Amino acid sequence: MAGSPAKLTAGQSAVLGGVELEAVRRRVRLALVISQILGGLGVSTAVALAAVLAEEIGGSEAVAGLASTSSVIGTALLSLPFAALMARRGRRVGLTSAYAVAAVGGLVVVTGAAVRNFPLLLVGMAAFGASNTANLQARFAAADLAEPLHRARAISTVVWATTIGAVLGPNIAAPAGRTVTGLGVPEAAGPFLWGTVVFLAAGALLHLLLRPDPLLTARALARAERGDAAQGAEAETDGDGGGRSLRAGLAAVADSPHARVALAAIAGSHTVMVSVMVMTPVDLGGHGAGVELIGLVISGHITGMYAFSPVMGWLADRIGRFSVILLGVALLGCATALAGTANGNHAQSAAGLFLLGLGWSACLVSGSALLTDSVPQQARAAVQGFSDLIMNSAAGVGGALSGLVVAQAGYGWLNLLAAALLVPVTLLTVAVAARR
């Protein structure tokens, strides 16, 4: 695809209807930024008290991590279906549908909490995980029309947009909880009701504003560049059908060492982040922290996750994807060392959680750009869905085990085991980078 409007072919200009490509990019970016602000608000408001709600309804610290784990598993299971939907119908339909499912999940969580039914709560959390599917897939929507040399920065802009809602969310968790106390619903379930409303708004905005669809437009531009733009409307939505399946994603990753590094970095960093983060509120609470302090620590963590993503995108485009992946791994290692040895020092825990988010940001932005760089366009939607399936499945296992590890051995051991996961990521990255 051409990198600027001046270089577009006649066929590509026809695809855009005479509109400059940069104007289309701005329009798509605006829609994604607004939806990410709302999505980040809905997710972070609820996740701040997810473990607390699970412990209250489940009656044990050992099951506290299962709420967030169910959400992560739901994100993983829904990644491929929504990726396939996007491949057929475009980003707008896929992202809107994901937010609709998440909104239903929020209502199920509130219902499960009201009747104190733990399995129903977990089912709702799994559906609620569709919000993360939408948030994560939006970064790839940002890359659809981006110039290759600026792809990491395009991804990072959308990741950064999550900062506004994500930082605000944990700090309004307590007020959100108080709004449902008169309804016979546990206070910790209130944020999920708020999340339902926010996700409906995000889905409606995407449905109205994400036009033209970035994925379908990118495909049409690529066909026009090849000189076969007149293939017809059916080709526009199904012409890449061979690249939509899980098998196609597996084949594309198997053929590319760089894609394997990207996948390892994304999945490894996400697993470390989720495993430590989901049990931090419980650890802080066990050392005397209240809901407000827990909210501040989680806000700092989310700031690290999203606020500095443009820096990570700039670095990934400037010094290379591999270098930023290794930077992210180093930051995650420092984070687990600080958090795991805090032992009630809330300032040290906060510093550790901030670095945990910063390291995740470096690996996610650079890994996502490397993954998109490393596979052919027709396979990208399948590979991107496969990537989110793997990262959330691995993190789901980590989150499920984290509560058991804390209950049996303590929060320090959880951080040590999480740090051990970084070793294979580092070795693979260094080995492949050395062969470039």
Q: What is the pLDDT of residues 367-419, one digit of tens each?
A: 999 999 998 877 888 888 888 888 888 887 888 788 889 989 999 999 999 99
Q: What is the pLDDT of residues 322-354, one digit of tens each?
A: 999 999 999 999 999 999 999 989 999 999 999
Confidence band (pLDDT; 50, 70, 90) for 237?
very low
Token readout for 287 is 């050392």
With 90 as the cut, is the pLDDT of residue 428 above it?
yes
Q: What is the pLDDT of residues 114-126, one digit of tens each?
A: 888 989 999 999 9
Confidence band (pLDDT; 50, 70, 90) for 12?
low
Provide the CB-side half-sphere exposure for 373 (13 A, CA).
24
Does the reported pTM lie above 0.85? Answer: no
236: CB partners within 8 A, 6+ apart: 216, 219, 220
Residue 236 lies in a domain: no
228: CB partners within 8 A, 6+ apart: none
Rounded to 5 degrees, φ, ψ at 409 are -125, -25
How many domains, in total, are found in the chain? 1
C-alpha to C-alpha distance for 296 and 34, rounded to whole angstroms: 24
Residue 64 lies in a domain: yes
With 60 as the cut, is the pLDDT of residue 242 above it?
no
Residue 123 lies in a domain: yes
Residue 4 lies in a domain: no
User: What CATH number is given to the structural domain containing 125?
Assistant: 1.20.1250.20
Instruction: Answer for the pair 383, 259: CB distance below 8 angstroms, yes or no.
Output: yes
Residue 95 lies in a domain: yes
Q: What is the pLDDT of residue 327?
A: 98
Q: What is the pLDDT of residue 264?
A: 96
C-alpha to C-alpha distance for 306 and 303, rounded to whole angstroms: 5
Query: Which residue range forms the structural domain that includes residue 103?
Result: 19-219+241-434
Residue 234 lies in a domain: no
Q: Cα–chain-centroid distance for residue 298?
A: 16
Residue 85 lies in a domain: yes
Q: What is the pLDDT of residue 10?
A: 62
Q: H or E element: which one contains 373? A: helix 346-374
Q: Which amino acid is at 212?
A: P
Instruction: Answer for the pair 136, 388: CB distance below 8 angstroms, yes or no.
Output: yes
Q: Where are the alpha helices (DSSP H) in 150-256?
A: 151-171, 173-178, 190-209, 214-226, 233-238, 246-254
